[in-house]
Every structure is written in structure tokens, then in C-alpha cells.
Amino acid sequence: MAPVEAHAAQQQHHPIKLYLLVWGLLFVLSTFSYLVDYVGLQGYLRWSLILIFMVLKAGLIVAVFMHMAWERLALIYAILLPPLLVLVFVALMVSESSYVLLTRLLFFGATP
Amino acid sequence: MSAPLKPSSMETLPRPSGLAGLAADWASDQRAFKNVSWGKAMMWIFLLSDTFIFGCFLIAYMSARMATTVPWPNPSEVFALEIGGVHVPLILIAIMTFVLISSSGTMAMAVNYGYRRDRRKTAALMLITALFGATFVGMQAFEWSKLIAEGVRPWGNPWGAAQFGSTFFMITGFHGTHVTIGVIFLLIIARKVWRGDFDTERRGFFTSRKGHYEIVEITGLYWHFVDLVWVFIFAFFYLW
């Protein structure tokens, strides 16, 4: 196997065309997510479209621009798995926030 | 080029790939990140920790927004601009998004030219990236001043839930700080590239170590991360 620098140098030789393609895709996806607001979609359709475009953009940036697609699994898993645990935190705080909202409505009597 | 230290087993045995490779790389008496230098690995680990920081901010925002009994101000209207007498919703944020994505595109190309050892193109592309970044920060300063003039404060605003101001200033402020640090980082590395430090293997001022074009990729990782965080802020704070 080649030494570290030589390996990195030969590994990350991708054609400029690839970057331009991803750049274009990111532009299109951003336009789509802006249009979601511009057209004024509401409810679950709006939220799911926002999430889909967000995940696609994040995936393109991490995979191509940050070269994660060409790394070994040891690094990919070490970096990409831990953030998934944030979702557990989200679930905890969703339950907590609903409880806070409930108590505020019960004890302060405010109507949303 | 100085040959880095490497265990002799790397030469003799090819590493398995896929899941078997994952297990083998993380096994005992192995260096986990085989073909990744310490600089790149540490930047990734820093970015992982930064992910948790921004994750916590966005979760705090989610909790505040879910728990308030007062309606949340409509970001589409708050960030609208009058352009030539036409009322365009969220337009400033859309432009900021495109500016940041463009900066990511030029940065990715800078990394590519760096590995081709084309120092002029690399430095020029890094300077363009820094220029886009500075534009972004400038637009954010405009956005902040506009909102402050309209009466948004961390403790209240004219349109609804008081938490809007505090979460807005905290999240965008922290992100703007990251962009500013990134611009400074880019300018420092672009200067070194321009001067030819990585062609002549000039020793660094602070570390006395020889530089390599890989630092362009490491700078790029940080810069793309800033763009990545903006993708999430754009989705959750501005569009939701």
C-alpha cells in the first residue's frame, strides 16, 4: 500500500465535472425547498418535502464535497453513526415539550 | 516527501473491505483510520463534536417552539423583502443559501486543484470561497440590523412568541461565527498556497512541520460543514 499522503492524493482525483454536477444539483434542490415556502404548501406535505430536500442536500455535501463516499467504512461509521443518537434526544425533548405545553395550557389557561 | 511511519503489516497484507474491513480496522493493535492522516481524522472528530453543539441548539429551538402557547412568528413574512415594490417572501435567506452553496462548490474545486498541485488555481478558488463567505456574513449582518430595527430582541418581538428572538440570535449568531472563522482560516491557507509553501515544503511558523496540500482538503472539510449546518438551519428555522 502507498503511504498516507500519496494514497490521499491519488484517492481524491475526481473530475471537476463531478463537482459541477453536485453544485448544480444543490442549486436545484435549494430552489425546490425555497419554492415549498414560495408556493405556500402547508401541513405534512410541507414538512416532508422540507425534510426530503434537506436530507438530499446534506447527503450530497457529505458524500461528494467532503469525500465521505470514498473513505473506508471505519471512518464513515465512526463519524456518521453518533449523530443519529441526536434523534433519541429529539424524541425525549418532543415528549418533554408536549408535557410543558400541556401544563401551561392547564395552569395558565392560555389558548393557542 | 517524508514517508510517514507505517506498520509493516500494511505492506504485506491487503486490508479486507466492507463490514469485515470495519471490524478488522477497529480490532485491537490496529490503527483505526488506515488511509486517513491524523489531521483529517481530527478535523472529522472536531466536526462530529460541532454537530452535537448545533444539534443541541436546534433541539432547544424545537423545544421552545413546541412548548409555547403563543403563536410562532411566520419566518416567511419576517424575512421578506420589498424588491422594486414587489413583496418577496424569504428572499434574503434564499440568496444567502445560494451564496453559501456556491462557496462550497468553489471550495470543492480548490481541493481538487490542490491535489493536482496547481497552486495558482487553488489559491484563487480559495479566495473566491472566502469572498462568498464574507458576502454571506455581510448579508447576515444586514439581516440582524433589519430585525433589531424592527424590534426583535432576545426577550421579545412584535409578532409572537418571545423565544423567537433568543433562538434566532443564538443559532444564526453561532453559525455566523463559524463562517467568520472559516473565512479567516481560508485566507491563511490561501496565502500559504499562493506563496508555494506546499511545493517547497516550507516549515510552518507555529508547528515547524512541513505542510502538504492535504491542508486544503482539511480546510475544505470545515467549510463544507459550515454549509451543511446551514442546510439544517434553513430547513428547520426558516422553512418549518
Condensed to tens digits (0 to 9), the pLDDT of residues A47-91 reads 999 999 999 999 999 999 999 998 888 899 999 999 999 999 999
Q: Could you say which DSSP state residue A69 is in? A: G
- Decide if B62 is inside a domain: yes
Residue of B50, B81, B101 to mutate for A, most A C-beta atoms under 10 A: B101
Chain A CB contacts of B228 below 8 Å: 58, 61-62
Chain B CB contacts of A61 below 8 Å: 104, 224, 227-228, 231
Chain A CB contacts of B71 below 8 Å: 112
Contact (CB, 8 A) for B233 and A50: no
Indicate the pLDDT class of residue A112, thresholds 50, 70 and 90: low
Q: Could you say which DSSP state residue B153 is in? A: B
Predicted pLDDT at A1: 38
Grid cell, residue B138, equals: 455581510
- Decide if B32 is inside a domain: no
Q: Tell me which of B239 and A110 has the higher pLDDT.
A: B239
| Owning domain of residue B65 | 38-239
Contact (CB, 8 A) for B56 and B50: no
**Packing angle, helices A4-11 and B214-233, rounded to 10:** 50
In angstroms, the CA B16 to CA B134 distance is 44
Contact (CB, 8 A) for B159 and B70: no
Contact (CB, 8 A) for B198 and B212: yes
- Decide if B169 is inside a domain: yes
A109 touches chain B (CB under 8 A): no
Chain B CB contacts of A84 below 8 Å: none
Grid cell, residue A103, equals: 401544563
Residue B158 — φ and ψ, nearest 5°? -75, -10
Condensed to tens digits (0 to 9), the pLDDT of residues B108-161 reads 999 999 999 999 999 999 999 999 999 999 999 999 999 999 999 999 899 989
Strands (E) across A9-110 are located at: none
In angstroms, the CA B56 to CA A105 distance is 26
Global confidence as pTM: 0.89
Q: How far is A93 from chain B (nearest CA, A)?
A: 6
Contact (CB, 8 A) for B119 and B110: no
Which amino acid is present at B130?
A
Q: How far is A101 from chain B (nearest CA, A)?
A: 4
Structural Rg of chain A based on CA atoms: 21
B1 touches chain A (CB under 8 A): yes
Chain A CB contacts of B37 below 8 Å: 4-5, 8
Grid cell, residue A40, equals: 405556500
Coil, strand or helix at B2: coil
Burial letters A60-95, b for 16+ CB under 10 A, else e: bbbebbbbbeebbbbbbebbeeeeeebeeeeeebee
**A·B CB contacts under 8 A:** 189
Contact (CB, 8 A) for B126 and B186: yes
pLDDT at B33 over 80: yes
Chain B CB contacts of A50 below 8 Å: 235, 239-240
Grid cell, residue B40, equals: 483529517
pLDDT at B5 over 70: no
B96 touches chain A (CB under 8 A): no
Q: How far is CA A90 from the centre of its chain?
A: 15
Please name the residues in contact with B54: beta carbons below 8 A apart, sequence gap of 6 or more: B171, B174, B175, B229, B232, B233
Predicted pLDDT at B90: 87
Q: Could you say which DSSP state residue B81 is in? A: E
CA distance to A78, B199, B207, per residue, from B203 (Å): 32, 11, 8
Nearest by CB to A65, from B32, B102, B224: name it: B224
Total domains in the fold of chain B: 1
User: B184: how many CB neighbours lie within 10 A of its CB?
Assistant: 11
Q: How far is B226 from chain A (nearest CA, A)?
A: 11
Cβ of B37 within 8 Å of Cβ of A62? The answer is: no
Predicted pLDDT at B27: 86
Q: Of B28-32, B90-94, B124-128, B188-192, give the lowest mean pLDDT range.
A: B28-32
- Decide if B177 is inside a domain: yes
Q: Tell me which of B14 and B81 has the higher pLDDT.
A: B81
| % pLDDT > 70, chain B | 95
In angstroms, the CA B103 to CA B94 distance is 14
ipTM: 0.88
Q: Is A67 left (phi over 0), alpha (psi -120 to 50) or beta?
A: left
Cβ of B90 within 8 Å of Cβ of A90? The answer is: no
Nearest Cα neighbor of B47 from A5, A50, A78 is A78
